[in-house]
């Protein structure tokens, strides 16, 4: 906190800090959560309790129709409590009306206020442009994914959005494919350009997946490159070289939980190749030294009945 806002040390703890701490605790924020909140955004302690914190909290709570949801919104977005109440009239209310005017149900407007408040605090002209862009992709304003898509695009400038489009085009994606991908999985635009390049390079150039296949399974782009994509990809290539699997599919490889992956790609073949577990563990340690595999693996190999891993029902599927 002091590193972020050194002048906290010059403030009167009893007069400046304590009333704010008591107010936030009175609203149901626990001491551990309060510690996280303040370490994330210590500027709260320098805001006026009577002119900023209380008016903003009460007005926001009235809009979202719940103190509890307001607390959750603040815990997820600590910057919220630092805003002046005037931001509500200037940005938040007009932006809520923009969503309503474009057919977003009231329940989803409230959900956005709860889960994606940052998008509602941008300039109304900017949000209107974003909402219209999301509508152009064909997403239905009636569904929750619409507000998620709006929040993703509202969190970046138009120039950054265009750079993301350019990165995908480098891999041969057409404009139609890019926006279909966004419509299916809006978070593909929340991924950094460097990460997109790294994942696409590995999948296309190292694992020989067609770029168009990744476009059809965009959720892969949100997976951890070092903790999931590289270790599982290298292990799958090992299975191919051993003749234990005949082909590779993106979703079973990268969209499944660790437990499902172990069942389908390690335990299933352990009778034929007992060294697989050691091999997978070795790959994991090289790319993710902190990963603890044993707690997942032990029950898979000790509780299974003979022939269990060979049953068709254990084929991995997307979670």
Looking at the fold, whether 61 and 5 belong to one and the same domain comes out as yes
Q: Provide block-wise average pLDDT over 10 residues at a time, the chain (319 residues).
A: 93 93 92 91 91 92 90 88 88 96 96 93 96 96 97 95 96 95 95 94 94 93 92 91 88 91 86 84 72 42 35 31
Structural domain contains residue 206: no
Asked if residues 62 and 33 have their Cβ atoms less than 8 Å apart, the reply is no
User: Which of 21, 50, 73 corresponds to the end of one domain?
Assistant: 73
User: Which of 130, 155, 180 corresponds to the end of one domain?
Assistant: 155
Integer Cα distance of 136 and 130 in angstroms: 10
Note the pLDDT of residue 307. 32
Report which of 153, 148, 151, 230 is spatially closest to residue 195, judged by C-alpha positions: 230
Looking at the fold, whether 93 and 148 belong to one and the same domain comes out as yes
Integer Cα distance of 313 and 309 in angstroms: 9
CA angle 227, 231, 232 (to 5 degrees): 110
Looking at the fold, whether 96 and 66 belong to one and the same domain comes out as no
Structural domain contains residue 189: no
Structural domain contains residue 209: no
Report which of 177, 261, 187 is spatially closest to residue 221, judged by C-alpha positions: 187
Instruction: Specify the pTM.
Output: 0.80
**DSSP SS3 for 274:** coil
Integer Cα distance of 265 and 58 in angstroms: 53
Work out how many domains the chain is built from and give that number.
3
Looking at the fold, whether 261 and 242 belong to one and the same domain comes out as yes
Asked if residues 147 and 108 have their Cβ atoms less than 8 Å apart, the reply is yes
Looking at the fold, whether 23 and 91 belong to one and the same domain comes out as no
Segments forming the whole domain that contains residue 118 = 84-155
Burial of 214 (0-12, 13-18, 19+ CB in 10 A): buried
Note the pLDDT of residue 133. 96
For the chain, helix (H) and strand (E) counts, in that order, are 18, 0
Integer Cα distance of 145 and 108 in angstroms: 10
Looking at the fold, whether 89 and 147 belong to one and the same domain comes out as yes
Looking at the fold, whether 65 and 90 belong to one and the same domain comes out as no
Structural domain contains residue 93: yes
Residue located via tokens 């007009």: 94
User: Which of 53, 73, 93 corresponds to the end of one domain?
Assistant: 73
Structural domain contains residue 203: no
Structural domain contains residue 22: yes
Looking at the fold, whether 8 and 56 belong to one and the same domain comes out as yes
Note the pLDDT of residue 288. 62
Structural domain contains residue 94: yes
Integer Cα distance of 195 and 154 in angstroms: 20
Integer Cα distance of 163 and 309 in angstroms: 45
Report which of 224, 307, 295 is spatially closest to residue 262, judged by C-alpha positions: 295
Integer Cα distance of 176 and 162 in angstroms: 14
Structural domain contains residue 270: yes
């Amino acid at each position: 906190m002091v590193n972020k806002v050194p002048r906290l040390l010059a403030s009167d703890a009893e007069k400046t800090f304590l009333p704010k701490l008591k107010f936030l605790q009175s609203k149901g924020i626990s001491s551990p959560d309060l510690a996280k909140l303040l370490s994330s955004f210590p500027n709260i302690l320098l805001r006026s309790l009577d002119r900023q914190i209380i008016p903003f909290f009460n007005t926001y709570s009235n809009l979202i129709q719940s103190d509890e949801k307001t607390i959750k919104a603040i815990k997820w977005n600590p910057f919220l409590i630092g805003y002046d109440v005037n931001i509500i009239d200037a940005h938040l209310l007009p932006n809520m009306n923009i969503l309503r005017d474009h057919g977003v149900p009231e329940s989803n407007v409230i959900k956005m206020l709860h889960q994606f408040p940052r998008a509602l605090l941008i300039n109304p002209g900017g949000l209107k442009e974003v909402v219209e862009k999301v509508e152009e992709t064909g997403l239905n304003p009636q569904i929750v994914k619409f507000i998620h898509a709006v929040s993703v695009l509202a969190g970046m400038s138009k120039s950054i959005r265009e750079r993301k489009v350019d990165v995908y085009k480098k891999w041969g994606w057409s404009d139609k494919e890019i926006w279909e991908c966004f419509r299916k999985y809006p978070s593909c635009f929340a991924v950094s350009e460097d990460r997109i390049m790294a994942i696409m390079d590995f999948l296309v150039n190292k694992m020989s997946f067609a770029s168009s296949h990744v476009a059809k399974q965009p959720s892969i782009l949100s997976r951890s490159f070092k903790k999931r994509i590289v270790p599982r990809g290298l292990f799958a290539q090992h299975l191919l070289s051993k003749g234990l699997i005949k082909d590779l599919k993106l979703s079973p490889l990268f969209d499944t939980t660790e437990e499902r992956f172990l069942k389908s790609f390690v335990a299933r073949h352990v009778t034929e190749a007992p060294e697989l577990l050691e091999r997978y563990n070795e790959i994991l340690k090289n790319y993710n030294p902190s990963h603890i595999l044993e707690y997942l693996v032990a029950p898979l190999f000790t509780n299974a009945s003979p022939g269990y891993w060979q049953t068709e029902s254990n084929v991995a599927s997307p979670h």
